[in-house]
Chain A
Amino acid sequence: MYSLLLLNGGIGARAGAGQPKQLVKVNGLPILVYSLVAADAVDEITQIILNYPDGWRQQIEAIVADYAIRTPVVYVRAGASRHESVRAMLDVATEDDVVIHETARPLVTSADFSSLVASEHRNVSLMLEIPFTVAPVDPESQRVTGYLERSTLRNVQLPQKFSTADLRDAHAFAERENRLFTEDATLVAVAGHDVRFVPGSDRNIKVTTPTDIRLATYLLTGGDEA
């Protein structure tokens, strides 16, 4: 069975409205509702660990109650970085495996979670091909320093799943090495564990800006099916 680590803590004004961005609404519903409802319908997810921006616990708990989320929810205060948030959430995970997702991706479906859970591999991330070219640079001197082969690069998405033991080991490794990672698939891989990827969907966008909210609303209301 799986503990879902549902990242919901980053406070940023990027999506506007003067609220932490995850409390922003998409098509009139608080954005975290989409991920909670999708995960709640997945039998293998038996624990949800939800973090909350400092000062927002009450509002977050009220949303979970109003939407009658049946899976038990544990609340953890958001850390200073995503890396720290995941580590803190891992401390209270009770299941042998975890799924990591973020509420800023409201287009996730129950089927996305289910197919990840069904994968034969223990550590798996949704990833997307990169449709554009990226270059390695030295930001200081603004010098281009080489070439990256696009076919060997992927856009890292969520959700991801990990063996709880592997993820804990990877976070202990990062602490020993005094390194912070921006996401966990590369962290677990760098720590020496086998991590695989499966193709994600370009619908599963991360909602960060007001334009993203409009795009997500368009997709959620079937605008692309006309």
Chain B
Amino acid sequence: MATTLLVTGASRGIGYETVRRFLQDSSPEKGTVDKIVLVARDSQDYTDALVELEAANPRGVELAPYRADVGDRGALLELVDQLAEEQGNIDFLVNNAGYTNPVPLQQVDFSDFERTMSVNLYAPFTLVQELLHRGNQFDLIVNIASTAGITGRSGWLTYSASKAALINMSEVMREELAIYGTRVVCLSPGRTATALRRVLAPTEDPSTIMQPGDVAAVIEMLASPVGKYVDSANLVVRQ
């Protein structure tokens, strides 16, 4: 049966690298998918990424790109309606889209805190809940959290809080979705060379830290047959 992967935040970083990995060869021990649904906000990055991915698609995996801001609940609900109509069952879901604007407590603008929670927490929740309501049966859900959600970091209040909530929500999802045989893994990368990391640590040399492709390799492993033996409430990936 055809297997479909959905990746949010697919235009760059971990999301982009995840899509790229799943496009590669399909030996049985790897997690193979027949179709990849990509979700990201409209941007030149995304348009370029789609061109690059189409060019690096030796197996001819079907790519179904959608342009939506998952932090906009109305747009997300519209997207789910479209997905249900056009894409059929989503087997693997990677909730990767992330947002941060790191400022100290006194400088937090509440609407920005809400935006952080919308993208990092409510979007994964809404995608899973709305797809379940439509009868979707997930094989695997990977929620990308952060080591900043395990230990709070000074100056990163909104981001740390949103990722802590995502880690906890993943534990509940994991228990509740066991009735369907769905695996839920929360993956917390440490410092990874992504655009979001540049916002958090603008002076860091990205070549010295973990690369998004390394995280993507772990996601690929989780979707592979051996992935079912990985039983962890919160899988930490760091250099």
Contact = CB atoms under 8 A, between A and B. Distances in A.
Interface of A: 27-29, 33-34, 37-38, 66-68, 70, 220-221
A28 B179 contact: no
Contacts of A28: 175-176
9 contacts: A28-B175, A28-B176, A37-B180, A38-B179, A67-B132, A68-B134, A70-B135, A220-B178, A221-B175
B180 A68 contact: no
Contacts, number: 20
B135 A33 contact: no
Nearest to A33: B179
User: Which of A27, A34, A37, A68 gathers most chain B CB within 10 Å?
Assistant: A68
A69 B132 CA distance: 10
Interface residues of B, number: 9
A86 B180 CA distance: 28
Listed from nearest, the 10 A-B pairs whose CB atoms lie closest are A68-B135, A37-B179, A68-B133, A70-B135, A68-B132, A34-B179, A68-B134, A29-B176, A37-B180, A27-B175
Interface string B169-207: 000000110111000000000000000000000000000
Contacts of A70: 135
A67 B133 CA distance: 6
B133 A66 contact: yes
Contacts of B133: 66, 68
A28 B132 CA distance: 17
Interface of B: 132-135, 175-176, 178-180
A2 to B, nearest CB: 20
Contacts of A220: 178
B145 to A, nearest CB: 21
| Chain B interface SS verdict (over half) | helix
A29 B132 CA distance: 15
A29 B172 CA distance: 11
Nearest to A34: B179
Contacts of B178: 220-221
Contacts of A29: 176, 179
Contacts of A27: 175
A49 B105 CA distance: 55
Contacts of B135: 68, 70
Question: By CB atoms of chain A within 10 A, which of B132, B135, B179, B180 has the most?
Answer: B179
Contacts of B132: 67-68
Nearest to B129: A66
B211 to A, nearest CB: 35
A220 B180 CA distance: 12
A37 B137 CA distance: 11
A195 B198 CA distance: 71
Given A28-B175, A29-B176, A221-B178, 15 more contacts: A27-B175, A28-B176, A29-B179, A33-B179, A34-B179, A37-B179, A38-B179, A66-B133, A67-B132, A68-B133, A68-B134, A68-B135, A70-B135, A220-B178, A221-B175
A63 to B, nearest CB: 12
A70 B137 CA distance: 12
Contacts of B134: 68
Nearest to A220: B178
Nearest to B179: A37
A29 B135 CA distance: 18
A28 B174 CA distance: 13
B221 to A, nearest CB: 22
Nearest to A221: B175
Nearest to A110: B181
A38 B179 CA distance: 8
A148 to B, nearest CB: 39
Contacts of B175: 27-28, 221
Contacts of A33: 179
